[in-house]
Chains A and B, each alone.
Chain A
């Protein structure tokens, strides 16, 4: 039944026309049926009329014959022949005709004597009976019909009297005529079909004239008026049918032209609009003759115009959104999403058309420090300048992607390692020339670039390029490198590259494997007694029997954002060391934690758990990289919590960009560890030394406990002592040692102190 609910207007029109034609045929058929009924009635009436007409004609004919017989019987010349028959033949053959007694030559008359014998002179060639039948003849005569060899002959026998009283019978007369021609000759037969007229009479059979009518067979002629009426009716019906068919077809054509086609056009336009295909020039569409449709068309096209404008606007917005979705909001270059899409397509294209491909990975050196030191606005500006410089340095068709933070990437097609390196150098040159000084950044901003290259014949390895570029980039970041490294060239020549790769692996393995992180402890001495108050726990990774130092794996930790995981691993290992009892009781442990970890609930939970050692080992937390603290209030809350359970909070590396003075003010800090760069100033005899000394005294006066880091000379130590700094740390007094060495060292120092006491 779906068709009932969904039909086209053309189907409706077609159904209407078919229905109309069906109705016409039905009405025409009904009219024909009625006409046939009327025709049958008319034919029946006409047959009755023909019967009446034939009856009248037969009676008229018989009456005429009777009159002729009476005339002949009463004719003087007839009687004369019966008396004087000498000229009987003349009378029979000529006189009866010229006198008008018989009007037709096919009618004959013969005279018979009273005894029924023909007149003597009568020849036997006229077909008249030689002897009259022996029967009584009525006065008005007697008629009969005989089928003579297929010809119906009518005989009328009549008596001839010699007196008016009909007492003296002179003889008999017999009229003979061909019945059918005589009957048909009558002009009165206008209804009877003369051709069909016949008499049912066997050859030789004699039929009395009185029974003639019952033996007649006949049909009625078609009524010309009826035929005309039927003809007119048929023509009218045919004309009506043709007219209606023509009208229907013309109507269908007009309907199709005026309604169906415009509606279909409108439907197609609407479908096209639904499919997003717009008529480029709606105004050129042919106007419709139906006003309502024309209004709909105009409205539709107006709507289409508005929709097209809206669509155009949406497309622009979509393009803008798409562009924005693929664009880094800060730098304006492509973002990571664009990178992933483009890289996927790039890889596919390169595999289709192999060519030399280079992948360049950029990373800003010490960006975190810059950001932390100069604030996010400056840091963002630095990234913008870097992005602009890189875009400028790249080729016209190359795209720059910001993968996150200060990490950028690009991939070059149709290139060689030399060309890629040349582009990288151009990038570095533009970065070096950039005006970071205008931002108030005095530190040099540099870029480390890792390059991975895939020759056309090894294009299948294109998927390895990002990882290789990453390795190359870390190679480039290694101290002493020129900050540009090509994977495969520089990484093979420099074992550091291998190390970097090895350290990365070691780091991930260490994070997953407890015990791989090995804590070394560097003593922090109290002044002026120089006794060990704390040990700073410093992490190392034991990997394949070798010890990997923090300078090798911490960048990996930082770049991979593994600070929390790493800190948790360190806390776990410190907890293990503290639980081992190898750390002399009474010696505090200072643990380095990144700012990100402090705000991590799991870290806090671990610290709470670790705090059980506080009784034997006062615990201190050294917060580094405070520039990454974004949720100052939350960090402060956690630090306050930790202080309530006797953790001491130390700000590490104070004096560098990582530890601005603002954090010192905002955070609940107990201890300030002066960075080696400041401590070393104390050895100089200049204003800087004075500033540091004044700063140290000011901090001490403010209640902060100071720790001088990096004390490596006696002079610096004396200066530190002179400034009243409470603690000192450095190679001069003690290097970091493993836990196993810590207990021995502690015993040595106990013996040494005992000896001094002794």
Chain B
């Protein structure tokens, strides 16, 4: 299988030339871009979202995007603006984070809409890491009917200090309710000094494991998780909790959070398998 994929990548190089950069103005003065790889029209389109503060150029995502496109899928890989016009770089933890989860969900919605505007009536959301959470948040808000499924690789909640999350939420809520605009710095995900206005930060902090599990259970579309058993960025017992709530999940043995190296192919294989299943199951 791996040999097949390698050959596919090599023979599909000319197809990359069909890539197009799509820009959408998400907010006044703030545009975001996405790479659109046109695929076969009879296959669902894939909206592939990068991880926390990353871009579509992140290796795991970029490799997966091109792999899916090579497999005939149209792939739209946006880079969330995170409040930065045409953001091209991963955003530093210490930067001023003028974005909220709501902004992220809105941008996802815009990209789903863009796909639909391109004629894609079957859309599968594929996210990596925090991107899976952002897609899950999108599904929990106002999902488009064209969205058929969610594939979450290395799904992770909005990690904060687990012992202080309630207090932090309370503090942020208090600050946000007072319209306080002073930047605050807290731990979020892998950032130790995540700097953001309190209200924006609050939208992320609320997504703890429980809310994530609940969102999974309440997902209006089918969900497939691909997790690595060597993912040391995950919270303790996170995979166990996922299994406990019986979320469809593939455990890639030996893979870390980024599923890099040989595990890229595992990720690709499991993603393609799931996409084929969805395609077969989809009504004609």
Contact = CB atoms under 8 A, between A and B. Distances in A.
Interface of A: 75-77, 79-80, 82-84, 86-87, 90-91, 95, 98-99, 162-164, 170
Nearest to B30: A83
A88 to B, nearest CB: 9
B22 interface: no
Contacts of B183: 87, 90
A80 B89 contact: no
Interface of B: 29-31, 83-89, 91-92, 94-96, 98, 181, 183, 195
Contacts of A80: 83-85, 95-96, 98
A99 B89 CA distance: 13
14 contacts: A76-B95, A77-B92, A79-B84, A79-B86, A80-B95, A80-B98, A83-B30, A83-B84, A84-B29, A86-B96, A87-B183, A99-B95, A162-B86, A164-B86
Given A163-B86, A164-B88, 18 more contacts: A76-B87, A76-B91, A76-B95, A77-B84, A77-B91, A77-B95, A77-B96, A79-B85, A82-B85, A83-B29, A83-B84, A83-B85, A84-B83, A84-B96, A90-B96, A91-B96, A95-B94, A99-B95
A222 to B, nearest CB: 47
Contact of A76 (B88, B94, B195): B88
Contacts of B31: 162
A76 B98 contact: no
Contacts of A76: 84-85, 87-89, 91, 95
Given A86-B181, A87-B183, A90-B183, A170 B94 contact: no
A385 B94 CA distance: 158
A164 B85 CA distance: 11
Contacts of A170: 85
A120 to B, nearest CB: 14
B209 to A, nearest CB: 30
B85 A75 contact: no
Contacts of A79: 84-86
Nearest to A91: B96
A170 B95 CA distance: 19
Contacts of B195: 90
B197 to A, nearest CB: 8
Determine the main DSSP class of B at the interface with A: loop
B92 to A, nearest CB: 6
A95 B85 contact: no
Of listed B92, B95, B181, residue having the most chain A CB within 10 A: B95
Determine the main DSSP class of A at the interface with B: helix
Contact of B96 (A82, A95, A163): A95
Contacts of B86: 79, 162-164
A549 to B, nearest CB: 177
A98 B96 contact: no
Contacts of A99: 92, 94-95
B180 to A, nearest CB: 13
A82 B96 CA distance: 13
Nearest to A79: B85
A77 B93 CA distance: 12
A86 B98 contact: yes
Contacts of B85: 76, 79-80, 82-83, 162, 170
B93 to A, nearest CB: 11
Of listed B96, B181, B195, residue having the most chain A CB within 10 A: B96
A524 to B, nearest CB: 188
Nearest to A80: B84
A163 B33 CA distance: 10
A585 B77 CA distance: 206
Contacts of A87: 96, 98, 183
Which 3 residue pairs spanning A and B have beta carbons closest together? A83-B29, A87-B96, A76-B84
A98 B94 contact: yes
A99 B95 CA distance: 9
A80 B84 CA distance: 5
Contacts of B89: 75-76
Nearest to B181: A86
B149 to A, nearest CB: 32
A170 B85 CA distance: 10
A503 to B, nearest CB: 168
Nearest to B90: A76
Nearest to B28: A83
A96 to B, nearest CB: 11
Nearest to B89: A76
A86 B197 CA distance: 11
Contacts of A90: 96, 183, 195
A86 B29 CA distance: 14
A91 B87 CA distance: 16
A541 to B, nearest CB: 172
A350 B224 CA distance: 168
